[in-house]
Amino acid sequence: MDISIIIVNYNSWQVLDNCLSSIINIQTYLNYEIIVVDNQSSNNQLDTYKKKYTNISWIINSGNNGFANACNLGAKHANAKYLFFLNPDTQLKDSVLDHLLLVYTSENIGILTCLQENNKSSFEKYNLLFPSPIRIFGVLRSFERNINKNKLKIKFNETASRSYPDWVSGSALFISKTNLEKIGYWTEDYWMYFEDVDLCKKANHYGLNCVVTKQVSIFHLHGGASRINPKTKAITKSEVIKSRHVYISNHFSKTAQYILQPLLFTNTIFTEGLMYLLSIPLFFIKKLHVNRYKFTELCKYYISVIKNKTWLSQRSTKFNTQCKKF
């Protein structure tokens, strides 16, 4: 077995169907397996897809345990030496698997990815930097990039065919099983988002670099797997903020935490509260319903932070364990 393709699914059946079809129809001489870890989807379509795709390994998780937990579960069931973690809202093209394996095995690489084309026919940003006290906030992050353009070009060491960012997206992440075990698998403190940043941060600690090959690409319908309806969209958007708090807690100094956690909290409550208030008189605009759900979700989270003395999301598999420490 050359490659184990691991896909995490939760109620994303239509995009998953397109993803699986694209993989099965590619031309390759490689031996690969497809493992789908289903986080207990709630719409009763699992049996239908298991009958449609009989040559796929279907693993039922113990609950909607998040992306990192499901990736780890899939990795532990994988039979190949090389793992390709893939979002269900992606589609593969011919030669992608062959190219990734060739590049990974012939160059000094820790984690590999390729270009991702979105539905606007442009490539998603791939020169990504680790979060820092300045980069935690979007405005400052953009400002830093603008004033350090030349320095960043040198840092990324970009060539016509490769780029070397700090981290790569978990939506298409290629790694050897040996290196994943060395790193310590995906960190399950995160329910959704920032787990890929965390994984690459740990890889960096072990001297394993992240590489983007620009010679091949996949299609990625960004958000197609997580933003199904207003409530789901609000949950996923709120998890971005929660995971940002977790990342600060896991990777920043105590001094930085004392400054950044209250700043992020204040900024979140102010901006999201303002959007919440705006959505009330404009209740007839359905898109704004997300703002109400999101603000409510974040308020519940911050109450939990105070009550349980942990920045972990209540959806994280590590939440109950962490709470027992206090």
Task: Tell me which of 148 and 304 has the higher pLDDT.
Answer: 304
Say which CATH number the domain at 75 has: 3.90.550.10
Predicted TM-score (pTM) of this structure: 0.92
92 falls within a domain: yes
Out of 220, 238, 267, a domain closes at: 220
Report the candidate in 25, 38, 26 with the shortest Cα–Cα distance to residue 225: 38
pLDDT tens per residue, range 161-174:
999 999 999 999 99
79 falls within a domain: yes
> How many CB atoms within 10 Å of residue 140?
13
310 falls within a domain: yes
Specify the pLDDT at position 90. Answer: 97
Q: How many domains does the chain have?
A: 2
| 301 shares a domain with 152 | no
Task: Tell me which of 43 and 225 has the higher pLDDT.
Answer: 43
Specify the pLDDT at position 134. Answer: 84
Q: What DSSP element (H or E) covers 219?
A: strand 210-220
| 319 shares a domain with 258 | yes
Cβ-in-10-Å burial (0-12, 13-18, 19+) of 81 comes to middle
| 21 shares a domain with 88 | yes
* Owning domain of residue 285: 230-323
Report whether pLDDT(326) > 50: no
197 falls within a domain: yes
| 295 shares a domain with 180 | no
15 falls within a domain: yes
DSSP 128: B
Mean pLDDT across the chain: 92
| 177 shares a domain with 31 | yes
**d(Cα 123, Cα 169) in Å, to the nearest integer?**
13
| 202 shares a domain with 133 | yes
| 234 shares a domain with 210 | no
Out of 197, 220, 243, a domain closes at: 220
Task: Indicate the residue type of 62.
Answer: S
**Residue 132: φ, ψ to 5°:** -135, 170
| 237 shares a domain with 164 | no
| 10 shares a domain with 66 | yes
Q: DSSP assignment of 43-109, as one string? A: SS-HHHHHHH-TTSEEEE-SS---HHHHHHHHHHH--SSEEEEE-TTEE--TTHHHHHHHHHHHS--
| 141 shares a domain with 87 | yes
CA 99 vs CA 102, 112, 217: distances in Å:
5, 11, 10
| 180 shares a domain with 262 | no
pLDDT tens per residue, range 48-105:
999 999 999 999 999 999 999 999 999 999 999 999 999 999 999 989 999 999 999 9
Specify the pLDDT at position 147. Answer: 79
DSSP 151: H
86 falls within a domain: yes
Cβ-in-10-Å burial (0-12, 13-18, 19+) of 307 comes to exposed
Report the candidate in 317, 320, 290 with the shortest Cα–Cα distance to residue 304: 320
225 falls within a domain: no
Out of 220, 242, 261, a domain closes at: 220
304 falls within a domain: yes
**% residues pLDDT > 70 (the chain):** 95
| 253 shares a domain with 210 | no
Q: What DSSP element (H or E) covers 282?
A: none
